[in-house]
Chains A and B, each alone.
Chain A
Amino acid sequence: MSILVNKDTRLLVQGFTGSQGTLHSVQSISYGTNIVGGVTPGKGGNTHLDKPVFNTVEEAVKEVEPNASIIFVPAKFCKNSIIEAAEANIKLIVCITEGIPTLDMLEVKKTVDELGVRLIGPNCPGVITPGEAKLGIMPGDIHLPGSIGIISRSGTLTYEAVKQTTDIGFGQSSCVGIGGDPIPGSSFVDILKLFEDDEKTEAIVMVGEIGGNAEETAAEYIRDNISKPVVSYIAGQTAPAGKRMGHAGAIIAGGKGTAKDKIEKLKKCGVHIADNLVSIGEKVSEVL
């Protein structure tokens, strides 16, 4: 068991022939991911990395029956690409691209929710089930098939959490980067639910950061609905107010969204706090 992706995932790559799409598709294929084809408008009929290229998602769906899609197209085209995949009835869409306008995401989110499609990202490293499938840009070799479910708003911070849980020998059931944007396709709560129902997952690591109140909402959800131990690390304890810290969503605005508030709320709700970045693995060992 795992969540979202596994050996049976048939992946379509949107933005397949571009430099990012190519680089990461090569990595994913060598990890063992079953890429069934790609989409690049205007290049349909060609082959790329020995896989068929299509002009539209709809054509690809007819020909190679993908059940998931990963998107590498530039930010300004992402709204249309996500909606295209959702309307072609692909039920899992992972969007890696950073920099999509927030108002585009409001429209995208409404559409995917109406169509019952799960969107991961944008502005995220993707999803991996170690040993089975890698839909994203994370380095495959730091992962180890195992029992910890990881959810994170940040790419390289996820890798830290992965590395530490690999080093102590627990490994990961699946890792999901939900992304650093203000309007993500999936929230912490959406993914927590999946890990709670996943037999293989014994504990959950939730990596949050300043901005918004997704961690606070997740804290209440964990208190009421999650039986597995949850370890959390929150980045940005030294971040100044009013400054966007790289991610579009990482900003303390109007005194709200501070790391301190998030940590207090998580503690109150029974979540185990790793009080610094280097102690995530240690904390996991403690609770398991």
Chain B
Amino acid sequence: MNLHEYQGKQLFAEYNIPVSKGKIIFSPEEVIDACNEIGGTKWVVKTQVHAGGRGKSGGVELVDSPEMALEFSKKWLGKRLVTYQTDGKGQLVNSILIEECTEIKSELYLSAVVDRESQKIVFIGSSEGGVNIEDVAKNYPDKIIYQGVEYKDKNLVDQSINIANVLKLNDDQTKQFVPMIENLLRLFVENDLSLLEINPLVINDKGDLLCLDAKINIDSNALFRQPKINDMYDETQDDPQEAEAANNDLSYVSLDGNIGCMVNGAGLAMGTMDTIKYFGGNPANFLDVGGTATQERVTKAFKIILRDPDVKVVLVNIFGGIVRCDLIAEGVIAAIKDVNIKIPVVVRLEGNNAELGAEILLNSNIRIISINDLAEAAKKSVELAK
């Protein structure tokens, strides 16, 4: 799950991590008061969406008056911002962060992730901030440090100083930086983060460190123990079908093609998409209906797949393991009747009792194309989608 920048900065503030003075607004009526409360003569106004690249797309501006901030809010609230990281429809802007303007002396980069290889939380720091870190990694690998850390470890101070050195911080800044790393790590662990990125971390005109951005991803598996974070979820930032699927415990990802896919198991679901592509078709979605593939789940899955108007055919690919294929076949038939599907449905059942399952599909009197071989089933779906 992703947080908005303003939510991330609220967390930063709670953990004594330095952020600019700012206010979040949800309607134009709040803008003038917010600017006055923050004070000063210049403000940065930032649209809040779950995507990077806001600055280059007009979603962030520097304004000289509260009236300009008001104009900006009227222009963006309720509209969709398209950046290089979003799809063509863009992301809905339903809040704007107004902040005091910071004089920047230099821009740095700092992030933390759970690193799969070292199986540790790793901080990534660079003296080159404000740009794409992958480019820095490629062009200036010596300007990046990857520092593995452990919570409550006695070496954390030394490790923080290692990062500070690569960031070229002076003594005063390093004194600010060491507790900042400790606080960021505490924030990471206590809130079950999977990613934390500050790009840029800046040194301001007073020589102090300040976090100008905050990108935070939370481990979805840990939301059960993070009620406060759970409340920060903004469903307007997710694809509506994906959000509905998630509410029904189904994994669904919307894609550009026209062959709907319903598969049990994430790996097989990807494998099915690849097989469709291999035979010249285009999958409309990824959907893992789960290990059990009951009638109830299959019905929900059909409903979600069919909400996509591009879908011309649905390929159901179930490897019946513990659940027998004859039961799955009955579930699929009931679901098709329940949802009243008008487009062709190709069903491939494999595994436990597959032949009996195929026979039940054949005798069902509804239009199901039952094909036991996955390659043939995929070819047939591609043909029907044309």
Contact = CB atoms under 8 A, between A and B. Distances in A.
Interface stretch (A46-54, A157-165, A192-200): A157-165
B274 A238 contact: yes
B134 A255 contact: yes
Contacts of A155: 265, 267-268, 291, 321
B70 to A, nearest CB: 34
B266 interface: yes
Contacts of B265: 154-157, 246
A138 B268 CA distance: 14
A139 B291 CA distance: 12
Nearest to A26: B322
Contacts of A235: 267-268, 270-271, 274
Contact of B253 (A139, A209, A240): A240
Nearest to A214: B116
**Chain B's interface: helix, strand, loop or mixed, by majority?**
mixed
Given A183-B114, A183-B116, A217-B117, A250 B219 contact: no
Interface range for B: 35 or more
A139 B189 contact: no
Nearest to A24: B322
Interface in A54-103: 75-76, 99-103
A134 B65 CA distance: 70
Nearest to B87: A240
Interface in A80-137: 99-104, 106, 109-110, 125, 137
A217 B116 CA distance: 12
A247 B266 contact: yes
A75 to B, nearest CB: 7
A212 B116 contact: yes
Given A182-B116, A212-B116, A138 B270 contact: no
A159 B319 contact: yes
B283 interface: yes
A168 interface: no
Interface string A132-156: 0000011101100000000011111
B351 A213 contact: no
A207 interface: yes
B117 A213 contact: yes
A139 B374 contact: no
Given A103-B222, A276-B274, A138 B269 contact: no
B322 A103 contact: no
A153 B255 CA distance: 23
B280 to A, nearest CB: 12
Nearest to B277: A238
A4 B286 CA distance: 34
30 contacts: A99-B221, A102-B219, A106-B120, A137-B321, A142-B351, A155-B268, A155-B291, A158-B267, A163-B350, A180-B267, A209-B267, A212-B117, A213-B117, A233-B271, A235-B270, A237-B277, A238-B255, A238-B276, A238-B277, A240-B253, A240-B255, A243-B286, A245-B253, A245-B266, A246-B269, A247-B266, A247-B267, A248-B219, A249-B116, A277-B275
Interface of A: 23-24, 27, 75-76, 99-104, 106, 109-110, 125, 137-139, 141-142, 152-160, 163, 180, 182-183, 207, 209-210, 212-214, 217, 233, 235-240, 242-250, 254-255, 259, 275-278
